[in-house]
Amino acid sequence: MRRLLVLAVGLVVVVAVTARAPVSRAGRSPICTRGMVTVARDPRHLLPLTANAVGPAAAAALRRERPADRPQVVSAALATDDRRRGPEAKFECGARVWRRTVVVYITLRAFLPSASLSERVDFVGRFRGGYRVWQVVH
């Protein structure tokens, strides 16, 4: 009987802890494809980019990665100049967000030689608290 009681209490604790745990930190933004795209931060609050936006944006993208993954920035460009992923930001969230976004390409060297696992593409923008990743694209 005591064993059954301990098991029941343990089950209640597990259910209580998992019920309070957040499912995901990602959210949705009503301006990005009518809320159908998952974003890390709502890009409606993006501020205009500063004169040298690429450096701080790359640093923000690196901060988001785990050091154990050995991240390395491969390239970064303003979304308006990036031909690979820049148009995606404009299509998903509009021209205003597109003009305020930096596309950062990162290689996670811990996952090499896997091409897909080792590639990361982030959309980064300037918010009140500084540059932050607002969407992990790949």
Cα separation, 130 vs 117, whole angstroms: 28
Number of domains in the chain: 1
pLDDT of 113 above 60: yes
Which pLDDT value is given to residue 42? 85
Query: pLDDT tier at 25 (50, 70, 90 boundaries)?
Result: very low
- Average pLDDT over the chain, rounded to an integer: 82
Query: pLDDT tier at 14 (50, 70, 90 boundaries)?
Result: very low
Sign of CA dihedral 107, 113, 116, 118: negative
Give the domain range for residue 80.
2-136
Which pLDDT value is given to residue 31? 65
The number of beta carbons lying within 10 Å of the beta carbon of residue 72 is: 13
The number of beta carbons lying within 10 Å of the beta carbon of residue 50 is: 11
pTM of the model: 0.77
